[in-house]
Amino acid sequence: MPTDQTRLPLSNRIDKVAPSATLAVDMKAKAMKAQGIDIIGFGVGEPNFATPEAIVEAAAAAVVNPANYKYSPTPGLPELRQAIASKTLRDSGYEVEPEQVVVTNGGKQAVYEAFQLIVNDGDEVIIPSPYWTSYPEMVKLAGGKPVEVFAGADVNYEPNLDDIEAARTDRTKAIIVTSPNNPTGAVWSERTIRDIAEWALDHNIWVISDEIYEHLTYDGVKTTHIGAAVPQIREQLIVLDGVAKTYAMPGWRVGWMVAPLAVAKAASKLQGHMTSNVNNIAQRAAIEAVSGPLDAVAMMRDAFNVRRLAIVAALNDINGVHCPMPEGAFYAFPNVEGLLNRPMGPNGTTFTTSAELAEALLEEGHVAAVPGEAFGAPGYMRFSYAVADEEITEGMRRFKEWAEA
Ligand code: PMP
């Protein structure tokens, strides 16, 4: 019988890394479902829509073309790099060369590589928190030190330049910008984005801008692309993006980086020893996705908007829960401190952390959500509302009943 122990130790590097908490919640919820328990899952951030047909057809055509059975260029198919350069002009409003684009296995690999390319041992990376759960672990894997700068629900999760400046030291190498944001759903103002760019220019700090939710904004709010707002920053800017959220393609695993030419070349060198080219079939599908229309994302955005309004209203209707209205992505991120330190749930248990609360909500209430601890924000919980409308109604009914029992 295999065990969790190895006979010989693993590396210090891997021992320092925490497992992905969002994937862990999803795994636990799926395991409970497999036992026949009816779970409503708000855990994982993936659209509940099928990939649009034209994209699937492009992949189907690619799979019977033997040209796609060979290795292809490590930084991506030339047509895809060109299509991403054109898409950058269309969506972000500035020109880049196809040579500045590197296609990766999901946006996740692009984020991972960005830190590998610029971080030396002991370098600090400022991570505005609440943050996407993988950033600090990726910084550690690159030998760096994550430095968190927190902004809570009281300020709509918008980081403040004074706090960022207070966290700066002579080891600060980079800052990460995520807007629209996972987990908070916040869309940072143009003022904040400009401030960060100008501050980074003044202090020679790299900016890593994760723009994977760029098309998911509501109430007429628009994503500010930092490279368009402050053009000079492009010399020290690495933009990360992918098809997962915009085209309902999380499982296809295509993302990319847009960076200064020397950075893109370095990324390609790294990838040459790590993964080589991304699956050609998925790249052919991605060409269709990024060069096609944005109709599918408009349809999804409308559907998400209805759910956003429903889930935020339902969360705020639970005694002890406070949820600001998110303007982007597909996450609601309520403060749940009002549920802590008092008897809760059918068994009258008292919870002191949001992690305990989330675990009990899953086990007793059969609702899966990710505790704020996974995002550097204890006292909060993340609910992905990229799920069916009925699941929002039923999941929120269960949460309220459980919380107010
Ligand atoms: N960045 C952020 C902020 C994300 O939320 C995600 C997906 N959860 C990614 C990057 C990575 O996306 P993928 O690897 O699926 O393209």
Return the CATH number at 133: 3.40.640.10
Looking at the domain assignment, is residue 123 inside a domain?
yes
Q: Are 372 and 380 in contact (CB under 8 A)?
A: yes
pLDDT of residue 270: 97
Looking at the domain assignment, is residue 58 inside a domain?
no
Question: Where does ligand 1 bind, in terms of residues with CB under 6 Å?
Answer: 45, 106-108, 111, 132, 178, 182, 210, 212, 242, 244, 250, 255
pLDDT of residue 346: 78
Query: Which among 291, 316, 338 is the end of a domain?
Result: 291
Q: Are 76 and 267 in contact (CB under 8 A)?
A: no
Number of domains in the chain: 2
Whether residues 218 and 281 fall in one domain: yes
Q: Tokens standing for 199? A: 């501050």
Compute the average pLDDT of residues 49-72: 97
Whether residues 248 and 182 fall in one domain: yes
Q: Tokens standing for 217? A: 């904004």
Q: Which of 181, 243, 245, 333 to mutate to test the pocket of ligand 1 (most atoms within 8 A of CB)?
A: 245
Whether residues 43 and 110 fall in one domain: no
Q: Please give the Cα distance from 242 to 97 (Å, whole number).
A: 17
Whether residues 325 and 281 fall in one domain: no
Asked if the model's pLDDT at residue 19 lies above 90, the reply is no
Looking at the domain assignment, is residue 61 inside a domain?
no
Q: Tokens standing for 127? A: 């991570």
- Tally of residues, the chain: 405
Is the C-alpha dihedral spanning 83, 84, 89, 91 positive or negative? positive
Whether residues 231 and 136 fall in one domain: yes
Whether residues 168 and 250 fall in one domain: yes
| Distance from the alpha carbon of residue 49 to the mean position of ligand 1, in angstroms | 17
Other beta carbons within 10 angstroms of residue 173's beta carbon come to 20
| Distance from the alpha carbon of residue 267 to the mean position of ligand 1, in angstroms | 18
| Distance from the alpha carbon of residue 349 to the mean position of ligand 1, in angstroms | 35
Q: Please give the Cα distance from 229 to 233 (Å, whole number).
A: 9
103's enclosing H/E stretch is strand 101-104
Looking at the domain assignment, is residue 162 inside a domain?
yes
Looking at the domain assignment, is residue 60 inside a domain?
no
Whether residues 245 and 124 fall in one domain: yes
Q: Please give the Cα distance from 29 to 247 (Å, whole number).
A: 25
Asked if the model's pLDDT at residue 45 lies above 90, the reply is no
pLDDT of residue 16: 86
Kindly provide the b/e burial profile for residues 106-123, where b requires at least 16 CB atoms within 10 angstroms of the residue's own CB.
bbbbbbbbbbbbbbeeeb
Q: Please give the Cα distance from 112 to 109 (Å, whole number).
A: 5
E runs forming strands in 109-200 = 124-129, 145-150, 172-178
What confidence tier does 44 reach under pLDDT thresholds 50, 70, 90?
confident
Q: Which atom of ligand 1 is nearest to the CA of 250?
A: 15
CATH code: domain of residue 25: 3.90.1150.10
Compute the average pLDDT of residues 318-328: 97
Instruction: State if pTM tops 0.85.
Output: yes
pLDDT of residue 113: 98
Whether residues 193 and 217 fall in one domain: yes
Compute the average pLDDT of residues 280-303: 95
Compute the average pLDDT of residues 117-144: 97
Name the percent of the chain in helix, strand, coil, to the closest 5.
45, 15, 40
Residue carrying structure tokens 């987990």: 183
**Would you call 401 helix, strand, or coil by DSSP?**
helix
Name the residue range of residue 322's domain: 12-50+296-403
Whether residues 301 and 266 fall in one domain: no
pLDDT of residue 35: 93
- List, for residues 352-389, the tens digit of each pLDDT value: 999 999 999 999 999 999 999 999 999 999 999 999 99
Looking at the domain assignment, is residue 176 inside a domain?
yes
Looking at the domain assignment, is residue 276 inside a domain?
yes
Asked if the model's pLDDT at residue 20 lies above 90, the reply is no
pLDDT of residue 26: 77
pLDDT of residue 246: 95
| Distance from the alpha carbon of residue 321 to the mean position of ligand 1, in angstroms | 27
What confidence tier does 272 reach under pLDDT thresholds 50, 70, 90?
very high
Q: Are 212 and 179 in contact (CB under 8 A)?
A: no
Query: Which among 291, 312, 335 is the end of a domain?
Result: 291
Looking at the domain assignment, is residue 393 inside a domain?
yes
Whether residues 29 and 81 fall in one domain: no
What confidence tier does 278 reach under pLDDT thresholds 50, 70, 90?
very high
Asked if the model's pLDDT at residue 23 lies above 80, the reply is no
Tell me, what DSSP letter sits at residue 52? P
Asked if the model's pLDDT at residue 37 lies above 80, the reply is yes
State the average pLDDT for the chain.
95
**Would you call 405 helix, strand, or coil by DSSP?**
coil
DSSP 190-243: HHHHHHHHHHHHHTT-EEEEE-TTTT-B-TT--PPPHHHHSGGGGGGEEEEEES
Of 75 and 24, which is predicted with more confidence?
75
What confidence tier does 244 reach under pLDDT thresholds 50, 70, 90?
very high
Whether residues 366 and 248 fall in one domain: no
In 3D space, the residue among 359, 383, 355 whose CA is nearest the CA of residue 369 turns out to be 383
